[in-house]
Amino acid sequence: MIGSLPGSGYDRAPPAPPSGGANREHPSAPVTDPSVPSPPPVRAWSIWALGAIFVAFGFFERLAPSVMTGDLMREFAVGAAVLGNLTAIAFYTYAGLQIPIGILIDRLGPRRVLTGAMLVMGAGSALFALAQSLGPAYVGRFLIGMGAGVGFVGTLKLVAHWFPPRRFAFVSGLTMMVSMIGGVGGQTALAGVVGALGWRQALLAATLFSLAFAVVLWLVVRDRPPGGRAEVAGPVRVGSLLADLRVVLRSGQNWIIAFQGGAIYAPTVAFGGLWGVPYLEKLHGLARAEAAALAAVLLLGSAVGAPACGWISDALGRRKAPIVGASIVALAGWAALLYLPGLGIAATGALLAVIGTANGGIIISYALARELGPLRVSGAATAFVNMAVVGAGSLLQPLVGLVLDAVWDGTLVEGGRSYSIAAYHAAFHALALSALAALASALLLRDSYCRPLESASATAPAGGTGHQAAPSTPARS
């Protein structure tokens, strides 16, 4: 097993398993300041809901090209490989900026960063909608990725401040569920809007939503409950940011968690985010909207699986075992989808649902990364994992496109390339290999037993919400 370098904050021995197998709150877990009352549950859930909507909209924006592949290939006169890169540039940006975003959220707080990011995402959507050539289209997708990259890490930071650790994995799973249901529902609706009005008008409407929602975020969201304390005090300096980055990168476990999360989730991004819709159109002779709805089963499965896996992990008081189990199920599902002959629509949908549910186990990785390191860099640690998760998908999308172009038989439909079922199956071997890598790396993980390793003197409240604190200066929101 890969270890951690001394002095990183990750070099302490893991906690012993709690007695009885249940998840019992560690008496020294840094969960709340007893001098500050717990926030009202309605306020906590309302702020979480806004963060979850942000994540859903960012997910929708990143997946939007999957229901307009033919339109985009004709509009820009490109093949599958170029379209894969155009789509994936948002994922590249999202992934590449995760660590800086996490550190900024740790330092500036989620409210400021979330509001600014929503404005950036709106600008990107407008630029992509108005692009007449590939150059502006790439810039638009870059801005979309930049803005969307803030959503998940920022929302997890809000969850850490407004809810106790014993609910972190579950509420984080709910965040993924809401984001995927919103993203998938928006994607399915977008297919109809694109058919009726065109892809440009649909994306311009998304721009208007971005502007309005940024105002709501600024007016409603607060970084932490009244009287809460920031984990990090002082101004943002380059030296302090680099120091936080070193702490995260020196943990061998962070690298394993990140690799495993990326490997299990990359097939979902490649299939559900781009290539699943045209494949299912070809495989079952479906219309685009019908194929989009069937491909959405994979993402909806992840939406259900995320809170379910989070709840199971919290209830068992274990992180590693549920991750290993989810990896086994995902690998079996992809293998069945690719290698079982003659699957009908119902069987395909059932397998996609099973795979998606297993992929929901990715949410446990974020909790594990947060629990195995220092509290002050929890945002950066979860961002590092999120970088790998999204980055792996952004690499697999164009890889599938490259294989499709390599085995393309020259068929054109309405001026765009059309790929055979055999070509898709050849390209989709990468999905099963990625799932196999996820299982292998899951076996190397260290368990936190659902307890933060960094101790403090406070204990968790018995109520439904709580917030983290560490001795530092009061924070402004």
CATH number at 67 reads: 1.20.1250.20
Task: Extract the tokens encoding 158.
Answer: 């809000």
Note the pLDDT of residue 200: 85
Per residue in 60-87, pLDDT tens?
A: 888 788 777 777 888 787 777 788 778 8
The answer on pLDDT for 134 being more than 90 is no
Inside any domain, residue 134: yes
Structure confidence at residue 33 as a pLDDT band (50, 70, 90)? very low
Structure confidence at residue 196 as a pLDDT band (50, 70, 90)? confident
Which residues contact residue 457 at a Cβ distance below 8 angstroms, ignoring those fewer than 6 apart? 28
Instruction: Tell me which of 416 and 372 has the higher pLDDT.
Output: 372
Domain count, the chain: 1
Whether 172 contacts 367, CB under 8 Å: yes
Inside any domain, residue 95: yes
Tell me the angle at which helices 252-270 and 288-316 cross, rounded to the nearest 10 degrees: 150
The backbone torsions φ and ψ at residue 163, rounded to the nearest 5 degrees and listed phi first, read -135, 155
The answer on pLDDT for 228 being more than 70 is no
Inside any domain, residue 452: no
Per residue in 46-65, pLDDT tens?
A: 999 999 999 988 888 887 88
Which residue is associated with the tokens 């995320």?
306
Inside any domain, residue 460: no
SS (H, E, C) the chain: CCCECCCCCCCCCCCCCCHHHCCCCCCCCCCCCCCCCCCCHHHHHHHHHHHHHHHHHHHHHHHHHHHCHHHHHHHHCCCHHHHHHHHHHHHHHHHHCHHHHHHHHHHHCHHHHHHHHHHHHHHHHHHHHHCCCHHHHHHHHHHHHHHHCCHHHHHHHHHHHHCCHHHHHHHHHHHHHHHHHHHHHHHHHHHHHHHHHCHHHHHHHHHHHHHHHHHHHHHHCCCCCCCCECCCCCCCCHHHHHHHHHHHHCEHHHHHHHHHHHHHHHHHHHHHHHHHHHHHHHHHCCCHHHHHHHHHHHHHHHHHHHHHHHHHHHHHCCCHHHHHHHHHHHHHHHHHHHHCCCCCHHHHHHHHHHHHHHHCCHHHHHHHHHHCCCHHHHHHHHHHHHHHHHHHHHHHHHHHHHHHHHHCCCCEECCEECCCHHHHHHHCHHHHHHHHHHHHHHCCCCCCCCCCCCCCCCCCCCCCCCCCCCCCCECCC
Note the pLDDT of residue 120: 95
How much is the average pLDDT of 447-475?
A: 49
- Residue 217 and residue 50: Cα distance in Å, rounded? 7
CB-facing half-sphere around the CA of 428: CA atoms within 13 A: 24
Note the pLDDT of residue 475: 38
Inside any domain, residue 320: yes
The answer on pLDDT for 14 being more than 90 is no
Per residue in 262-295, pLDDT tens?
A: 999 899 888 987 788 889 988 888 887 788 889 8
How much is the average pLDDT of 130-142?
A: 88
Inside any domain, residue 63: yes
The answer on pLDDT for 190 being more than 50 is yes
Beta bridge partners of 417: 412
Classify the C-alpha dihedral 54-56-58-64 as positive or negative. negative
Beta bridge partners of 416: 413
How much is the average pLDDT of 429-433?
A: 92
Q: How, if at all, do strands 416-417 and 412-413 pair?
A: antiparallel
Domain that holds residue 193: 32-228+244-442
Note the pLDDT of residue 416: 72
Inside any domain, residue 18: no
The answer on pLDDT for 26 being more than 60 is no
Beta bridge partners of 413: 416
How much is the average pLDDT of 97-119?
A: 88
Structure confidence at residue 358 as a pLDDT band (50, 70, 90)? very high
Task: Extract the tokens encoding 238.
Answer: 């380059």
Structure confidence at residue 299 as a pLDDT band (50, 70, 90)? confident
How far, rounded to the nearest angstrom, does the alpha carbon of residue 396 sit from its chain's CA centroid? 15
Instruction: Tell me which of 202 and 377 has the higher pLDDT.
Output: 202
Inside any domain, residue 327: yes
Lowest average pLDDT, out of 6-15, 121-130, 188-197, 323-332, goes to 6-15
Note the pLDDT of residue 36: 41
Which residue is associated with the tokens 């008496």?
27
Whether 121 contacts 423, CB under 8 Å: no
- Residue 477 and residue 229: Cα distance in Å, rounded? 11
Beta bridge partners of 229: 474
- Residue 291 and residue 271: Cα distance in Å, rounded? 12
- Mean pLDDT, the chain, as a whole number? 80
Structure confidence at residue 124 as a pLDDT band (50, 70, 90)? very high
Which residue is associated with the tokens 């008081």?
317
CA-based radius of gyration for the chain: 22
Task: Extract the tokens encoding 236.
Answer: 């943002």
